[in-house]
Structure 1
Amino acid sequence: MPLQVSVVSADQQVWSGEAEMVVARTTEGEIGILAGHTPLLAILASGEVRVTQVGGRKITADAAEGFLSVEHDVVTIVARDAQLTS
């Protein structure tokens, strides 16, 4: 079962879709999220968010300060500022 991922900034939705994996930098360090991950709420550190879509295509976004939540295979990344880089 794929992850449902949303990356949003303060003023817009940057990307939303299904993914196999999400890697993001938190204040505790880099974290990788796969389907079945335990619920989590973390403070997002500025840096790269990497999303591997179902089928292997990779999406990268720069995100600055915010939070990341995981619950029931739904990953939400809310950043003060975020934009796609690839």
Structure 2
Amino acid sequence: MAGTPLSVSVVAADHEVWTGEASMVVARTVEGEIGILPGHEPMLAILAKGEVRLTLTDGSKLTANAEDGFLSVEKNVVSIVAGAASLAS
């Protein structure tokens, strides 16, 4: 599914942190770091405290800090739900 962007949502327990399209997502899970590209197999993972790095469709980069949550992938939709999350400065 090359050319199809990922639809990404990063949310904390009490607010939405960022929503948009990305070409790649890299996040730290309890089993190690994982990279998500369009066409990734469906999955569910437990987040470890750390960075979520997004490469946006225009090539720019965005970083969020997240902890205590999960990441799910299904049909090019990536949902990152964390107890605490914020955009990195």
* TM-score w.r.t. length of structure 1: 0.98
- Could you report, residue by residue, the CA deviation over 1:18-61 in whole angstroms, capped at 9, with x for unpaired residues? 00000000000000000000000000000000000001111100
Two-structure CA RMSD over aligned residues (Å): 0.6
Percent identity, please: 67
Provide the aligned length of Structure 1 versus Structure 2. Answer: 86
Question: Runs of 5+ in structure 1 lacking a partner?
Answer: none
| DSSP-derived class of the 1:45 partner | strand
1:37 maps to amino acid: H
* Residue number in structure 2 paired with 1:34: 37
Alignment of 1:1-86 (within 5 A): 1-86=4-89
Q: Which runs of 4+ in 1 moved over 3 A?
A: none
Question: Runs of 5+ in structure 2 lacking a partner?
Answer: none
C-alpha separation in 2, matches of 1:78 and 1:46: 12
C-alpha separation in 2, matches of 1:75 and 1:65: 17
* TM-score w.r.t. length of structure 2: 0.95
Alpha-carbon shift at residue 65 of structure 1 (Å): 1.2
